[in-house]
A and B are shown apart, each in its own frame.
Chain A
Amino acid sequence: MGDKALAEAQPLTAELTVPGELTLVAGPTGTGKTTLLSRALRDWRAAHPARWPGAVLLGQNPATQLVGETVEEEVAFALVAAQMPDAEIARRTARALATFGLDDRAKARTDALSMGWKCRTLLGALHALEPDALFLDEPYAQLDDTGRRRLDAAITEWLGQGRAVVVSAAEALETVGGLPSGRTRLLHAETGLRPEPDLVAGFCEKWPDHAPDTPTGSAVELLSFTAGYEDTSAVLRDIDLVLPPGSISVVSGANGCGKSTLLRAVAGDMPALSGTRRILGHDMAGAGNLPRETALVLQDPELHLTGRTVRGEIEVASAIPKPGAETCLRIFGLSQFAEQAALNLSHGQKQALVLACAVASMPRLLLLDEAFCGLDASAMASILSALRRIVHRTGLTVIAVTHDPQGPVPDFADRHLRMSNGKLIDV
């Protein structure tokens, strides 16, 4: 967020928190929603120094905010640190766990949770603090339908208790989750992504010269496939999946059902307990065998970044010389950020960059783990369109995971796979 935008935001932070009202802060990726919310939190605390904790904030990436080892510990953590009486800690923790449907997972380890469940755990931790104002930075982005309904119910309860709730979202919706938003503050993009899918044709002309040959037969073949670690029960069970080259498949399902694990199993990161695993024509029986010509985009884009500028990141990942990397930069709408440090981009912009790097490496198989989180609707539509064209021109095979079966991601796929409890239930 630039100085000008910050200056404009100053009077806005005071207006955001009205007791008993829900405010939606909406704007495309990179417009400064996170900065605005952090600022509003600080302003609120400065105005109410005597209250504890007064206002709380949920950050965008749940994975890096957890401090407790189990869900229950995480929810109770700040209460324990504040040396509240044991009975009060137990009461608040139990209520928070029930509100976000965490009772069954109270003893689960936080590092083993899926992103959606991590998000719910953090929301529970904030709920237990019974704050006067809550700032939630894109809380719906990681939640499945059940999680969204739980959050809607919690927001209704908070508003009924006279608390102020501020929620940020990538687009100006008339509702936040299932709730009509009381007030909407739009942040206008000065630096949003502007993808150019029309450049795909030129980019794909170079593909056959640099990319490996398309495999004959199926790109992915899992037959009676069961996978997991030796010291735990099977995480994936009886998976039968055959995907032809040049296809786009989307895997959806509730948080924690095993979608990301399936992707990791295809990437060779999960030991096969039984069944057949054949990727791009190679048999991959045990762990340690990784499929070549495969690119994986993780949920957290920062794990891919190497501290370079946006252009530098693409050039390093690219299988083709500079002009091709430049085209890729434009296809994914990143040309105006080309000289910026990649680590300084917004979450959505980093996602677009990591997708661009993966495509620039010209793989045969592209695995996308919630790779569209944080992108605004317009940028996502253009990027999905570009990916679709690339797939159809090059024979690239794509498997994308999403927690949102109603969103735009399943619409761009040739086939939609649904998962539940480690099994494919609908192919």
Chain B
Amino acid sequence: MSDTRGPATVWTRTLFLWMVALAIALFGVLAPATWLPLLSLLATGLFIATAGPRATLRDARPLAWHAPVLLLGMLIVNGRVDWALALEISVRFMLTAMPIFWLHRLTAPTHLLTLFERVLPFRLRLILLFALRIWPLLLRDMRDILLVARLSGTWPARLRDVRPRHFVHAPGRIMMPLGVRAIRLSDDMARSLEARGLDQL
């Protein structure tokens, strides 16, 4: 998927992206009540069509981590879970986050820099690149952190073995290293760009 990235392909996909944006805007105007489910169907369909169902499932899996946080947040704030609201927030979240995976899968970072050359200022293009680049690195690190946690018994090897007691240790042993990692990755990557003189451009 990621290796067919000639300039022609990039421009075709850019055109495709704009067409999708136009279609979404039309839905919004013509049928305001149904735009959200239609939009989610459209985005998922596009993702599956371009990346394939297996890649979609694999890439979308980490996004599902927002669900327990959302439900727990509702329980703490409201004392109960509003399932309709939770579903709506979930769909909105997935819709916001999916394009990042999608863009990353379809377009190489250097091509993105070229692609948005005339649209975005250089610093904004770098920020966009950051967002796209950090996700896969963070996912890889998350796999490693989970492996260490599973070996140490902090987290079970299979999801079906997850018990409430695992959530007691998970914040410290999994979420904390992951959070630190996210900050460290951003910092290291910024330093790496600085070390190559990109801050001087």
Contact = CB atoms under 8 A, between A and B. Distances in A.
A160 interface: no
A421 interface: no
Interface stretch (B17-25, B73-81, B89-97, B176-184): B176-184
Contacts of A126: 196
A316 interface: yes
Contacts of B49: none
Given A77-B110, A298-B148, A343 B180 contact: yes
B157 A295 contact: no
A59 B153 contact: no
B188 A67 contact: no
B133 interface: yes
Interface stretch (B36-44, B61-69, B134-142): B134-142
A302 B181 contact: yes
B191 interface: yes
B55 to A, nearest CB: 10
A316 B191 contact: no
Contacts of B193: 67, 78
Contact of A73 (B108, B150, B198): B108
B197 A67 contact: no
A267 B151 contact: yes
B196 A56 contact: yes
Contacts, number: 131
Contacts of A292: 153
A81 B153 contact: no
Size bracket, chain B contacts = 35 or more
Interface in B164-189: 172-173, 176-177, 180-181, 184-185, 188-189
Interface stretch (A21-29, A303-311, A393-401): A303-311
Interface residues of A, number: 60
Contacts of A67: 109, 129, 133, 189, 192-193
A129 interface: yes
A59 B190 CA distance: 12
A306 B158 contact: no
Given A53-B196, A111-B136, A129-B196, A73 B191 contact: no
B195 A58 contact: yes
B195 A68 contact: no
A68 to B, nearest CB: 6
A81 B112 CA distance: 11
Interface string A256-272: 00000000100111000
Given A69-B2, A288-B158, A64 B197 contact: no
Contact of B197 (A129, A288, A302): A129
Closest 4 CB pairs of A and B: A53-B197, A64-B188, A65-B192, A57-B195
Given A38-B191, A81-B126, A111-B136, 16 more contacts: A41-B195, A56-B197, A59-B195, A64-B184, A66-B192, A67-B192, A69-B109, A78-B196, A111-B137, A125-B196, A126-B196, A290-B157, A292-B153, A303-B144, A306-B172, A307-B177
